[in-house]
Structure 1
Amino acid sequence: MIHCIIVDDEPLAASLLEKHIARIDHLKLIGKAENALEAYGLLQTKSVDLLFLDIQMPHLTGIDFLKSLSHKPPTIFTTAYRDFAIEGFELEAVDYLLKPITFERFFTSVDRVLRNRNNTQEDFIIVKTEGMNRKIFIREIVYFESQRNDIKIVLANSESMMAKSTITELEFLLSRRGFIRIHRSFMINAQFVTAFNNNEVMLGTYPIPVGRSYKSEFDAFVATVSKGSINQ
C-alpha cells in the first residue's frame, strides 16, 4: 500500500485526483493540503510514500517547497503549466502531469511508482489512441513527433499511431530511458540512430531535424556517441 497526500489549492483539481486515487487499490489517501505550510505539517506527522504536488500555489510554489525539504518523498507534480518541467526533472520528480489529468495518464505515473518500489525496470508506457489504452514497449519506439494537440508515435516495425499526450510529458517520462529531444516537435530513441550531422539525425530511413534551441542536448548526445556508449 502506498500512502499519499494531495497538495493543491484548487478544489476541483484536488477532487479529481482523489477520485483517481480511489480507483487504484494500491493507493491510500492519508491527507490533503491547500498550501505548502499545511503540506509540511502533514509530512511531519504522517509517513508519506507519494506526494501529488501542485506547482502554482499561494505563498510558496510546489517547486520551492520540494527544494526546501531535507527528505523528499517520491513526488508527482500536477500543474496547468508546461514551463516547469525542467525544474521538476532536476528535482528528480517521478512525473509531471498537466491538468486536466486523465485517469489514463494518472495510472501511467502510479504504475511507474509501483515498478520503482518493486525494483523492476520500467519497460513500457500506456497511451490513449483510437479510444483505447494501448501498452507500448519502450524498446519498440523509434521516435515521437508532436502534431498540434496529439503525438505521433513511430515504431520499429514501421507502424505509426496518434496518441493523446504531449511531447513535454513524454520527455519527462523517458529522458532517462535513452530518449533525447532534439527539436521542438521531435524526441528520438538513441538506440535507433544510424547517422547524424549538425542539422539532422537519421533513424534508419527516418530523417529527423535538429532544432537550434536544442543544440546543447544534441551536443551531449554527440559526446555520448563519441564514447560509444549509447544505451537505452
Structure 2
Amino acid sequence: MINCIIVDDEPLAATLLEKHISRVSHLKLVGTAENAMDAYQLLQTKSVGLMFLDIQMPHLTGIDFLRSLSQKPPTIFTTAYRDFAIEGFELEAVDYLLKPITFERFFKSVERVLRHKTDTQEDFIMLKTEGMTRKVPIREIVYFESQGNDIKTVLVNNENIISKATMTDLESVLSGKGLVRIHRSFMINTQFVTAFNTNEIVLGTYHIPVGRSFKSEFDVFVTAISKGSVNQ
C-alpha cells in the first residue's frame, strides 16, 4: 500500500484524481491540499509515498515547491500546460501528466511507482505462528533464540514471536542478510550490537552468550565490525 496526497487548487481536477486513486487497490489517499503551504504540512504529518502535484498554484508553483524540499517524495506532476515538462523531469519526477487525465494514462504512470517499490522491497522472513504465517521485516529483528522445537524471535519493540522452525532453517534463509549465529541457541542481528567481548555480545539491554563451537563465526564478526562492514 502506498500513501499518496493530492496537491491541486482546482476542485474538479482533484476530484478526478481521487476517483482514479480509489480504483487502484495499492494506493491510499491520506490527504489533499490546495497550495504548497498546506502540502508542506501534510508532508510533515503523514508518511507519503507518492505526491500528485499541480504546477500552476497560487503563491508558489509546484515546480518551486518540489525544488524547495530537502526530502522529496516520489512525485507525479499534473498540469494543463506542456511548458514545464523539462523542469519537472530535471527534478526527477516520476511522470508528467497533462490534464484532463484519463485513467489509462494515470495507471500507466502509477504502475512505474508500484514496479519500483516491488523491485526495492525490503528483506523479510515468513514466520509460522499461532495458526498464521506472519511477514516480519529483518530490520525489526534483534535476535532469534532456539527453544526446543520452537524459535523465539525478539523484535525491536520488545515483542516476542514463537514459531515452528529450527536454527538450520533460519541460517539457510538468512544467509548474507546481516545475521550471525554465535551460539547453538542464538542468532543475532548485527545492526543492533552495542558491545561485545569474547564471551558475550550485547544488543542494547540483551546479553547473548558466545558459544565455544561458534568462535570462528564470532571471529569473523569481530573482524567485520572492526572494518565497519558488518551491516548490509
TM-score w.r.t. length of structure 1: 0.51
Correspondence 1:61 to 2:68: no
Report Cα offsets for 1:85-136 as digits up to 9, x if no partner: 000010000000000000000000010100111128xxxxxxxxxxxxxxxx
Q: C-alpha separation between the residues in 2 aligned to 1:96 and 1:72? A: 16
Q: Distance in 2 between matches of 1:118 and 1:23?
A: 19
Mapped to 2, the partners of 1:33 and 1:68 lie a distance apart of: 17
Counterpart of 1:36? 36
1:81 correspondence with 2:81: yes
Question: Whole-Å Cα distance in 1 between the matches of residues 88 and 117 of structure 2?
Answer: 20
Match in the other structure for 2:27: 27
1:46 counterpart = 2:46: yes
Deviation for aligned residue 1:4: 0.1
Distance in structure 1 (CA, Å) of the matches to 2:114 and 2:24: 11
CA RMSD of aligned residues (A): 0.8
Q: Secondary structure at the match of 2:73?
A: coil
Give per-residue Cα distances to partners, 1:156-203, cap 9 Å, x unaligned.
xxxxxxxxxxxxxxxxxxxxxxxxxxxxxxxxxxxxxxxxxxxxxxxx
* Displacement after TM superposition at 1:69 (Å): 0.2
Matched ranges for 1:101-120 at <5 A: 101-119=101-119
CA distance in 1, matches of 2:118, 2:47: 19
**Corresponding residue number in structure 2 for 1:3:** 3
* Alignment correspondent of 2:90: 90
Task: Pick the structure with greater CA Rg.
Answer: 2
Per-residue deviation at 1:75?
Answer: 0.1
**Residue segments in structure 2 that go unaligned for 5+ positions in a row:** 121-232
Give the corresponding residue for 1:16: 16
3-state DSSP class of the match of 1:118? helix
Q: Which sections of structure 1, spanning at least 5 residues, go unmatched? A: 121-232
SS at match of 1:60: coil
Q: For residues 54-73 of structure 1, what are the alpha-carbon distances to aligned partners after superposition, in whole Å with 9 as ceiling and x for unaligned?
A: 00000000000000000000
The number of residues matched between the two structures is 120
Once residues 89 and 22 of structure 1 are traced to their aligned partners in structure 2, the CA distance between those partners, rounded to angstroms, is: 26
C-alpha distance in 2, partners of 1:112/1:29? 18
Paired with 1:10 and 1:104, the residues of 2 have a C-alpha distance of 21
**Offset of 1:48 from its aligned partner?**
0.3
What letter corresponds to residue 24 of structure 1 in structure 2? V
- For 1:61, give the aligned amino acid: T
SS in 1 for 2:119: coil
| Aligned residue type for 1:4 | C
Q: Structure 1 residue 81: deviation in Å?
A: 0.1
Which residues of 2 match residues 1-232 of structure 1 at below 5 A?
A: 1-119=1-119
**TM-score in terms of structure 2 length:** 0.51
Distance in 2 of aligned mates of 1:45 and 1:21: 20
1:6 and 1:78 map into 2 onto residues whose CA distance is 10
Q: Write out per-residue CA displacement over residues 19-73 of structure 1, whole angstroms, 9 at most, x where no aligned residue.
A: 0000000000000000000000000000000000000000000000000000000
Task: Provide the C-alpha distance between the structure 2 equivalents of 1:35 and 1:89, rounded to a whole number of angstroms.
Answer: 21
In the alignment, the residues of structure 1 paired with residue 82 and residue 55 of structure 2 have an alpha-carbon distance, to the nearest angstrom, of 11
Secondary structure of the 1:77 match is: strand
